[in-house]
Structure 1
Amino acid sequence: MRIDAPTPADLGRILADHDRYWPGRDLRSLHHPMYCRQFADTSLVARADGIAGYLFGFVAPTGEGYVHLVAVRDDARGSGLGRTLYQRFGDLAAGRGADRLTAITAPGNAGSIAFHRALGFVAETVADYSGPGADRVVLRAPLLHGRPAGSAVRIEPATAADAGEVLTVQRAAFVTEALAYGAAIPPVRETVADLDSAIAAGRVLVARDGGRVVGAVRVTVLGAEAEVGRLAVAPDRQGEGLGGRLLAAAEEHAGPVERYVLFAGHRSERNLALYRRRGYRETHRTVDPVGVPVVHLAKSRHTG
Structure 2
Amino acid sequence: MSGRKHRPVRLAAPTPADLGPILADHDRYWDGRDLRSLHHPIYCRQFADTGLVAHGDGVLGYLFGFVAPAGEGYVHLVAVRDDARGTGLGRTLYERFGELAAARGADRVTAITTPGNAGSIAFHRTLGFTAETVAGYSGPGADRVVLHRRLDREPVRIGPARAADAGEVLTVQQAAFVAEALAYQAAIPPVRESVTDVAAAITAGRVLVARDGARIVGSVRVTPTGDGTEAEIGRLAVAPDRQGEGLGSRLLAAAEAHAGPVERYVLFAGHRSERNLGLYRRRGYTETHRTLDPVGVPVVQLAKPRHTG
TM (norm. structure 1) is 0.63
Counterpart position of 1:215: 218
Which digits, 9 at most, give the CA deviation of each residue in 1:253-296, with x for residues without a partner?
11222211100111211111111111111000011221111110
Determine if contact 1:218/1:230 at 8 Å carries over to the other structure.
yes
Determine if contact 1:64/1:100 at 8 Å carries over to the other structure.
no
Q: Which runs of 5+ in 2 are unaligned?
A: 1-13, 30-34, 54-60, 62-79, 130-146
**Given residue 161 of structure 2, which amino acid in structure 1 is its aligned partner?**
A
**Distance of 1:199 and 1:230 partners within structure 2:** 13
**Distance of 1:157 and 1:43 partners within structure 2:** 44
Q: How does 1:5-24 map to 2 (within 5 A)?
A: 11-12=15-16
Determine if contact 1:63/1:100 at 8 Å carries over to the other structure.
no
User: Cα distance 1:212–1:50, how it changes in 2: closer, same or farther (>3 A)?
Assistant: closer
Determine if contact 2:231/2:262 at 8 Å carries over to the other structure.
yes
Counterpart position of 1:252: 257
**Distance of 2:275 and 2:24 partners within structure 1:** 37
Q: How does 1:257-268 map to 2 (within 5 A)?
A: 257-268=262-273
Identity %: 60
**Distance of 1:63 and 1:235 partners within structure 2:** 24
**Distance of 2:187 and 2:93 partners within structure 1:** 49
Q: Choose the corresponding residue for 2:169, options 166, 170, 178.
A: 166
Q: Does structure 1 residue 38 correspond to structure 2 residue 25?
A: yes
User: Cα distance 1:148–1:181, how it changes in 2: closer, same or farther (>3 A)?
Assistant: farther
Higher relative contact order (CA 8 A, sep 6+): 2
**Given residue 25 of structure 2, which amino acid in structure 1 is its aligned partner?**
Q
Determine if contact 1:207/1:246 at 8 Å carries over to the other structure.
yes
Counterpart position of 1:282: 287
| Secondary structure class of the residue paired with 1:52 | helix
Q: Does structure 1 residue 78 correspond to structure 2 residue 103?
A: yes
Q: Does structure 1 residue 179 correspond to structure 2 residue 182?
A: yes
**Distance of 1:77 and 1:264 partners within structure 2:** 40
| Secondary structure class of the residue paired with 1:267 | coil
Cα distance, 1:100 vs structure 2:
7.3
Counterpart position of 1:111: none
Determine if contact 1:286/1:295 at 8 Å carries over to the other structure.
yes
**Distance of 1:247 and 1:43 partners within structure 2:** 36
Q: Which runs of 5+ in 1 are unaligned?
A: 1-9, 16-30, 102-141
**Distance of 1:207 and 1:253 partners within structure 2:** 14
User: Cα distance 1:219–1:77, how it changes in 2: closer, same or farther (>3 A)?
Assistant: closer
Cα distance, 1:186 vs structure 2:
0.7
**Distance of 2:240 and 2:276 partners within structure 1:** 14
What is the root-mean-square deviation of aligned Cα atoms in Å? 4.1
Q: How does 1:218-257 map to 2 (within 5 A)?
A: 218-222=221-225, 223-257=228-262
Cα distance, 1:32 vs structure 2:
8.9
User: Cα distance 1:263–1:43, how it changes in 2: closer, same or farther (>3 A)?
Assistant: farther
Determine if contact 1:63/1:97 at 8 Å carries over to the other structure.
no
Which digits, 9 at most, give the CA deviation of each residue in 1:197-229, with x for residues without a partner?
110111101111111111100011221211100
Determine if contact 1:43/1:55 at 8 Å carries over to the other structure.
no
**Distance of 2:273 and 2:150 partners within structure 1:** 25
Counterpart position of 1:153: 156
Number of residues of Structure 1 aligned to a counterpart in Structure 2: 233
Counterpart position of 1:52: 49
User: Cα distance 1:148–1:79, how it changes in 2: closer, same or farther (>3 A)?
Assistant: closer
**Given residue 264 of structure 1, which amino acid in structure 2 is its aligned partner?**
A
**Given residue 295 of structure 1, which amino acid in structure 2 is its aligned partner?**
V
**Distance of 2:23 and 2:207 partners within structure 1:** 45
Determine if contact 1:47/1:53 at 8 Å carries over to the other structure.
no
Which digits, 9 at most, give the CA deviation of each residue in 1:29-63, with x for residues without a partner?
xx695235424869896477574343121243544
**Given residue 178 of structure 2, which amino acid in structure 1 is its aligned partner?**
V
User: Cα distance 1:157–1:213, how it changes in 2: closer, same or farther (>3 A)?
Assistant: same
**Given residue 60 of structure 1, which amino acid in structure 2 is its aligned partner?**
D
User: Cα distance 1:252–1:60, how it changes in 2: closer, same or farther (>3 A)?
Assistant: farther
Determine if contact 1:226/1:254 at 8 Å carries over to the other structure.
yes
